[in-house]
Structure 1
Amino acid sequence: MWDWRFLFLILFSTVVDYTMGILIEKNDSKNKKKLFLWISILVNLGFLGYFKYSNFFLENFVQAFSFLGQDLKFRGLEIVLPVGISFYTFQTLSYTIDVYRKKLSPTKDFIAFSAFVSFFPQLVAGPIERATHLLPQFYRKRKFDYKLAVNGMRQILWGLFKKVVIADNCAQFANQIFNNYEDYSGSTLILGAVFFTFQIYGDFSGYSDIAIGISRLFGFDLMRNFAYPYFSRDIAEFWRRWHISLSTWFRDYLYIPLGGSRGGMWMKIRNTFIIFLVSGFWHGANWTFIVWGALNALYFLPLLLSGKNRNHLEVVAYDKSLPSFKEILQIGVTFGLTVFAWIFFRAENLGHAFGYINGIFSDSIIGVPEIRPSYLIALLVVALVVEWIGRRNQFAIESLRIYSKFRFHYLFYLFLCYLIFIFGGQEQEFIYFQF
């Protein structure tokens, strides 16, 4: 619907990976298996590199020569980024790599494989599914499951609330503050960064909830993509809970092949920086994303060096109603570090990012923000309370009916619908559509 011509791109990628999977299984020669695997990798990453990174490399090539006193004329290539290419590229790569590793037998059903690559609920912004998990689901005869569908509708409703009410309203104020940061005080700039922090969470996790919920209506199970990341007690826990499908993809297909944690400390540090830098670059062809990735790697480093990167595997205050004072401090520090890193993610360029940060750390950091949307702050409090209560579940309102003896949960669903219609902000495109 966006541009039908790009269907040929995803079709070509589908045909290549479908064919390479069969050829990998048919050939006994290890060298030939590697050849077919590399054909799949190079074709997919080649498309991704051309459409997403061509202008970035050309611009930096020209800038490198300008430092040497050579002014090269550069005219950017007019390249349109195909919607969802970063997501379905990694999804198809998981298939050929898993076939090569003998974790999966290659499919002979081209229709099923094509549906796996282009499954519409999660095609544009994930979750990035593994072939071992999603592909076999296309072989089964589909039957309508009422309980699964109701669960899916419940998750769609919560996803819509996070996107339309939380993310889109936060976006209005975050955009206003980031686009005019020179005009605002340091305290207002902090508030703008916080608004973007909740915008990107509501936007992306909301999309994932809607995608997972729609899939359940059709009898499909997609992997979980978010697990209440802003309740994390350290950065390692945050990355186990944020964009889980991408984090685990990099772990399984990049970090572990590089040696993972099996080598010495230097290898662990090297591999950690590689995956965070690649993760940043995956998000976009801009130095801001690379700095964002490097910053998260630096956050992660003390935990890695002290061997505490595997702490906090369970959700915070799992068997309690409220966190301890220590846990509150840990969550606060982690959230603050995350908010600071998101400034680079949101900024248009490094100059914008550093100018914004410089504006925060000024005399005006102490004071009342000029922008104080009380209704939005109240909505954020509602969202946080609901997520805290439901933090042990796959999504916040999954088990809401358990707490209701008088069918209160139906009134709460109507209340969410009311908030969606009343506070639905100006339409904002999903942030991850650009990736």
Structure 2
Amino acid sequence: MILIALSTGIDYVVGLKLQSETVKKKRNYLLALSLIFNLGMLGFFKYYNFFVESWIDAWAMSGVKMHVSTMQIVLPVGISFYTFQTLSYTIDVYRKKLTPTKNFINFATFVAFFPQLVAGPIERATNLLPQFSVKRIFNLERAKSGIHLIIWGLFKKIVIADSCATYVNAIFDNYQEVNTLTLLMGAVYFAFQIYGDFSGYSDIAIGTARLFGFELMQNFNYPYFSRDVAEFWRRWHISLSTWFRDYLYIPLGGSRTTKNKQIRNVFIIFLVSGFWHGANWTFIIWGALHALFFIPLLIGKKNRKNINQVSENGVIPSFREFMDMLITFTLVTLAWVFFRADNSTVACHYIKRLVSNLNFNIEYLSIERYSIEILVLIGIFILFEWFHKHVEHPFLGRVKWLKIVGVIIMILTLGVYSNHLEFIYFQF
């Protein structure tokens, strides 16, 4: 509470000072104050122990034992999200793309807006802040749309993500004892767990905000139908990827520079993105893998090849589109193993066993045999998304009420309620 209050107060004052200050050097100092405070606060609470422990491990590799105690720092909820949100405000004011607000209540509400505070979307002040100054009138159609998004988000989280989590946890906890098929399914289940979990939260947040008359930015756009990794990142966690594009990638030179510098910029973006997710080498490796997947597209000038929606004018994808989606999903899922694993050693051993033992017999786990129910649910989920990929959610178009009732019944009968699983991105 104190941290978000400090961040709010400092950036509110900095914004006003930037508006009135005309001396470039003083404006730079004001921007630096916001950057140092917000990034310093984020770095201390999120990465202090990581750097200390990495320093000790580095010396240990050379035979020197160090005994440095680390503080058990509790990560404040939502700090990665609201620090980026306030930073975007300060930077936009500095760039003179936004006029700072003089209404402190509006600004504080923008920073701590409850639907998306703890896990995004990371809103821009240019979009959300002006909405607090507009008189809101209840709109029935908007309210219905918000409720539909909440229902769909709950289905993603409670039915898809939490059902997959049961198997993911069992497989990753016993990865040394299971075969290739089990490990493969564990990786695929996690791909749908994290997608259902995170995009489900975003849908609930956007829907809740819409009930109050606010429009938040879209955060996911059917990413698993992407035909290359570049398209995937235009559709996955859009608020974060566009934040890094606008406030880091473009200032570094973006694509308007030499090819070597473009490659450097891509690596910086993905490594920082991985590090943003957490103080663990697994996230950094995850980011590095996505950079390696992206670089060939950049070199071949194919990173903007797939801009439109897949199979835009047809129901069934072409063979080429299907193979492109399958290859992209495989690469993304491979990287997800590092994201999910406790450490990089576990991730490497997991992948080594995945490609080495080549045993595809169906196995029984301590929980139960692979339930056909999970595969059926994932299949239904994929079909739902495929046939509605051109709209915001599946409750638009024909037989709307039939789909709504069917999804609610699945939430009530197939949802996982006993494990009390938090949203994955609450830890970031």
Bin of the TM-score, shorter chain as denominator length:
over 0.9
Q: Secondary structure at the match of 1:361?
A: helix
| Residue in structure 1 matched with residue 171 of structure 2 by the alignment | 177
Counterparts of residues 227-376 of structure 1 (less than 5 Å): 227-370=221-364, 371-376=369-374
Q: Secondary structure at the match of 2:66?
A: coil
- Inter-partner Cα distance in structure 1 for 2:359 and 2:295: 29
Counterparts of residues 18-417 of structure 1 (less than 5 Å): 18-370=12-364, 371-397=369-395, 399=396, 402-404=397-399, 409-417=400-408
Kindly indicate whether the alpha-carbon contact (under 8 Å) linking 1:168 and 1:427 is maintained by their aligned counterparts in 2: no
- 1:427 lines up with 2:425 in the alignment: no
- Inter-partner Cα distance in structure 1 for 2:224 and 2:52: 37
Q: Which residue identity does 2:167 align to in structure 1?
A: F
Provide the identity percentage: 55
Q: Which residue identity does 1:417 align to in structure 2?
A: I
Q: Which residue identity does 2:422 align to in structure 1?
A: E
Q: Secondary structure at the match of 2:358?
A: helix
Q: Which residue identity does 2:376 align to in structure 1?
A: A
Q: CA deviation at 1:234?
A: 0.4
Q: Secondary structure at the match of 1:183?
A: coil
- Inter-partner Cα distance in structure 1 for 2:393 and 2:275: 29
Q: Which residue identity does 2:321 align to in structure 1?
A: E
- Inter-partner Cα distance in structure 2 for 1:75 and 1:146: 57
Q: CA RMSD in A?
A: 1.0
Q: Deviations over 1:9-47 (max 9, x none)?
A: 100100000000001111110011110011001100011
Q: Which residue identity does 2:67 align to in structure 1?
A: K
Q: Secondary structure at the match of 2:115?
A: coil
Q: Secondary structure at the match of 1:125?
A: coil
Q: Deviations over 1:69-128 (max 9, x none)?
A: 321102221100000000000000000000000000011000000000000000000000
Q: CA deviation at 1:396?
A: 3.2
Q: CA deviation at 1:369?
A: 4.7
Q: TM-score, normalised by structure 1?
A: 0.96
Unaligned runs of 5+ in 2: none
- Inter-partner Cα distance in structure 2 for 1:263 and 1:413: 49
Kindly indicate whether the alpha-carbon contact (under 8 Å) linking 1:65 and 1:71 is maintained by their aligned counterparts in 2: yes
- Inter-partner Cα distance in structure 1 for 2:115 and 2:333: 29
Q: Which residue identity does 2:219 align to in structure 1?
A: N
Kindly indicate whether the alpha-carbon contact (under 8 Å) linking 1:21 and 1:99 is maintained by their aligned counterparts in 2: yes
- Inter-partner Cα distance in structure 2 for 1:76 and 1:275: 29
Q: CA deviation at 1:289?
A: 0.3
Structure 1 runs of 4+ aligned residues shifted over 3 Å read 364-371
Q: CA deviation at 1:271?
A: 0.1
Q: Secondary structure at the match of 1:14?
A: helix
- Inter-partner Cα distance in structure 2 for 1:382 and 1:68: 53
Q: Deviations over 1:51-70 (max 9, x none)?
A: 00000000111122222332
User: Size of the alignment, in residue pairs?
Assistant: 422
Q: CA deviation at 1:432?
A: 0.1
Q: CA deviation at 1:311?
A: 0.9
Q: CA deviation at 1:210?
A: 0.3
Q: TM-score, normalised by structure 2?
A: 0.97
| Residue in structure 2 matched with residue 4 of structure 1 by the alignment | none
